[in-house]
Chain A
């Protein structure tokens, strides 16, 4: 049982009274992911081919580059939220869970940073 403080309540028995925030935020990113993934799928279908030149031309457009940047951010974010829930469901040992969540966050930040760097290079840089 908890000792009356917030952390005591969490350790003792369940609710920290902020679970709804993660749950809602997860729904927000899922809507963004749905819209941007529809855009991404439609864009793939509208590309003339998947050759180097066609793709460079596509991503030279500011609109496409912006949407692709958002696509990467929202999907990495949504994946982080989802994989976090998976880890919390299956990794019960506290130390392992903590380490897994840290690793997950590091990988997700790195993935988003690399993706954004690539989009910016493709949008602004020469070949």
Chain B
């Protein structure tokens, strides 16, 4: 049954080592990676809210940590993951309709979406810091 299914040599999910790297493949695996990272980001959100509930002193400790170089790096990573995952998610919505599979179109939009993830993260932080 299931155990046998695992030992039978059936093709499983595509592997990074097997697929040739290209914009479409990069966008697809980034969607998964950023989705996992954004899920981890939920716990930072909960930590933030928990610190708020715990009161001003606990919250000040949280802000100190978040404001440290490592904290900012983590927040950068989470914000990039959320933004990039949103953009590649919209790309997947379009692909779900059956559109955008022509090689040129697919390559172009995969490249655009991957770049937009980085660009919009920079725009978000610029807006945040320049308020």
Contacts and interface: CB of A to CB of B under 8 A. Distances in A.
Contact of B59 (A45, A52, A72, A86): A52
A89 to B, nearest CB: 4
Interface string A92-127: 111000000000000000010011001101100101
Contacts of A76: 42
Contacts of B32: 86
Contacts of A70: none
A30 interface: yes
A12 B36 CA distance: 31
B42 A79 contact: yes
B3 interface: yes
B56 A52 contact: yes
A79 B6 contact: no
Nearest to A125: B53
Nearest to A89: B13
B46 A115 contact: yes
A34 interface: yes
Interface string B31-50: 01001101100110110011
A50 B59 CA distance: 10
Contacts of A16: none
A44 B66 CA distance: 15
A62 interface: no
Given A11-B1, A11-B2, A52-B60, A30 B45 contact: no
B86 A34 contact: yes
Interface stretch (B20-28, B102-110, B123-131): B123-131
B49 A118 contact: yes
A105 B1 CA distance: 25
A94 B53 contact: no
> Top 5 closest A-B pairs, CB basis?
A118-B49, A79-B39, A94-B2, A92-B6, A89-B13
19 contacts: A30-B89, A34-B86, A45-B124, A56-B52, A75-B38, A75-B42, A79-B38, A83-B36, A83-B39, A86-B35, A90-B13, A92-B12, A93-B3, A93-B6, A94-B1, A111-B42, A111-B43, A118-B46, A121-B53
Given A44-B128, A79-B42, 10 more contacts: A27-B93, A30-B93, A41-B124, A45-B124, A52-B52, A55-B52, A59-B52, A72-B46, A86-B35, A125-B53
